[in-house]
Amino acid sequence: MNTLITNGKIYVEKGLFHEAMLIQDGIIVQTGSNSDFESASYENHIDLGGKTVIPGLNDSHLHLSYVGTTMRSCKLNQARSIEEIIEIGKNHLEANPGTAALYGRGWNQDYFVTGEKRMINRHDLDQISTDIPIVFVRVCGHMATGNSKAIEMLGVDETTTVEGGVIQLGEDGQPDGIFCESATALLDTVIPEKTDLDIEKDFLTAADYAISMGLTSVQSCDIQNVDAQRIFKVIRNIYADNKTRLRFSHQFNFQDISGLEDYINTELNSDGYDEKFLSRGALKLFIDGSLGARTAFMLSDYHDEPGTRGVSVLSQEQLDDILSLASQHNIRVVTHAIGDGAVEMLINAYEQQMNGGENTLRHGIVHCQITSTQQLERIAALKIPVLYQPIFLDYDIQIVEDRVGEHLASTSYAFNTLYQLGTPVSFGTDSPVEDLNPWENLYCAVTRQRLDGTPEGGFCPDEKMDISDAIDCYTTGSAYNEFREDFKGRLMPGYAADLAVLDRDIFEIDPAQIKDVRVDMTMINGEVVYTRQ
């Protein structure tokens, strides 16, 4: 089937736009001006009325089915009082009759403005329901509250102890529902395990949301050690039944040799991957934690907590072993490294793997937040792809100088420096850690500001990216990670017809407006898969 698109401002490459393009069986066959197509034959015609079109965006690291899980759970981030939390819970149950267990996330007593400003406890949650278990996790993830039903199901009482955690007691000497640190994992067990159907529903809900935001591809880590075979199969079935058109490349997390060996012996040779809509992607590893919690692994002490350098969860030797097994099987690896200590370990490990040669498997660094100039130069010289999340700046701008000092902060989150050095840079959101909204993400890359517009002039303004460069990172840059930069991420002949039509000209608007861009239409493989109502 042929589709002709005319009257657009179609982004081809930096500084170059075309008006029209012809698509045949999902592939762009010709681009040019309207008049070039006067004698073209086609079945469909889309007149864009002057609108701006960019290649479909490709999130280089997120967790798609968990985005869906988060979407169906109770969102508590906006709650400004205990009463409001109770209200949100009640409304959620009313809107979803038959809910067997209620899970919510994001409350923060520091944000309460009316009523009592304290942690929520079992008695608060009992006002929502005493018939089903309820677990509401605090925004930090290190504390959660259960209702009386949850506590009854767990069978814990004032004598229960958990190593590395606390089950808090109330004034009556009984558990008050507040669980801290490792004890929070106990509370998770009262939430029924997801069925295959739950996983599928979550996946498809999130896929629809992604498409409505102009994403046409995602590189997603839905496999996290446990239950790998089952989740692989659910996702294969979704694509076998053509239930979504969102292009999906797996990232799969196994932290040890045996998990990876299982994968090599099973999924690596399984059918069901057409490499067009569904493909096997990278092994995902993680080395350290987060900057917020001071668990990112640093080369020197935290500026705001001397004596602490964070943690590395893999030793250099473990990292080398798993990398070499992956490389032997031509499996690409992407590794979570946030502190400069973790980044250093990773550069060393990748360099050793390359053995004086090139990074042919395109092993990459996810996050890569805290970096020195010398590390940036090594990353560029070794051509190590970097998978950045510009939206992390929205929170991290407030803490980075406290955590690592002004000097190291000034060479961190160095999107533009690495891009200008020729490093393959791609963008993602790590959703559900952040929303998968790509427009807020692009806004942060271009303005280096928080969503509220601070700080004026932007954080380390030399790192502000040009909007065309930022879009390239999100499209062809992400495709590079999948070895698909010749097929996806450009609107040129021979490329997939994956695109987003925008409600405004993102190349001309005030950068402050980039976060407000809306998608009018999304196309994948030449098919319109979303139209804004």
Cβ 208 to Zn ion shortest distance, Å:
21
> Least distance (Å) from Zn ion to the CB of residue 78?
23
Query: Are 348 and 382 within 8 A, CB to CB?
Result: no
How many chain residues touch Zn ion (CB under 5 A)? 1
Spell out, one character per residue from 458 to 497, where the chain touches Zn ion: x when CB under 5 A holds, - when not: ----------------------------------------
Inter-axis angle of helices 228-240 and 257-265, nearest 10? 40
d(CA 509, CA 518): 13
Nearer to Zn ion, 335 or 476 (CB): 335
* Minimum CB distance to Zn ion, residue 128 (Å): 30
Q: Which of 430, 463, 469, 472 contacts Zn ion by CB under 5 A?
A: 430
Rounded least distance, CB 250 to Zn ion, Å: 13
CA distances from 422 to 134, 173, 376, 417 (A): 50, 62, 11, 9
Output the smallest distance, CB 311 to Zn ion, in A.
Answer: 17
| CA-to-CA separations, 504 to 434, 467, 520, in angstroms, rounded | 24, 14, 9
What x-and-dash track marks residues 389-428 binding Zn ion by CB under 5 A?
Answer: ----------------------------------------
Q: In this complex, which beta carbon is closest to Zn ion, that of residue 401 or of residue 434?
A: 434
216 or 335: CB nearest Zn ion:
335
Spatial neighbors of 231 by CB under 8 A, at least 6 apart, are: 65, 199, 222, 223
Nearest C-alpha neighbor of 397 from the set 446, 435, 454? 454
Query: Residue 328: CA atoms inside 13 Å, Cβ hemisphere, count?
Result: 10
Q: Which is nearer to Zn ion, 148 or 437 (CB)?
A: 437
Q: Between 176 and 482, name the residue whose CB sits nearer to Zn ion.
A: 482
**Can residue 340 be called a binding residue for Zn ion (CB under 5 A)?**
no
Helix (H) or strand (E) holding 350: helix 340-354
Closest to Zn ion by CB, 437 vs 525, is 437
At closest approach, how far in Å is the CB of 64 from Zn ion? Answer: 11
Q: For residue 147, what are its two tokens?
A: 């209702």
Q: How far apart are the first and last CA of the chain?
A: 25
Closer to Zn ion by CB, 4 or 235: give it. 235
Would you count residue 200 as binding Zn ion (CB under 5 A)?
Answer: no
Residues in 79-98 that interact with Zn ion by CB under 5 A:
none
Identity of the residue, 6 or 431, whose beta carbon is nearer to Zn ion in the bound complex:
431
Distances (CA, A) of 217 to 236, 384, 525: 16, 21, 11
> CB 428 → Zn ion: shortest distance, Å?
8
Spell out where 76-122 has E strands: 102-107
Report the residue number whose CB is nearest to Zn ion: 430
Tell me the C-alpha to C-alpha distance, in Å, between residue 91 and each of 74, 87, 198: 10, 6, 21
- Site residues (vs Zn ion, CB under 5 A): 430
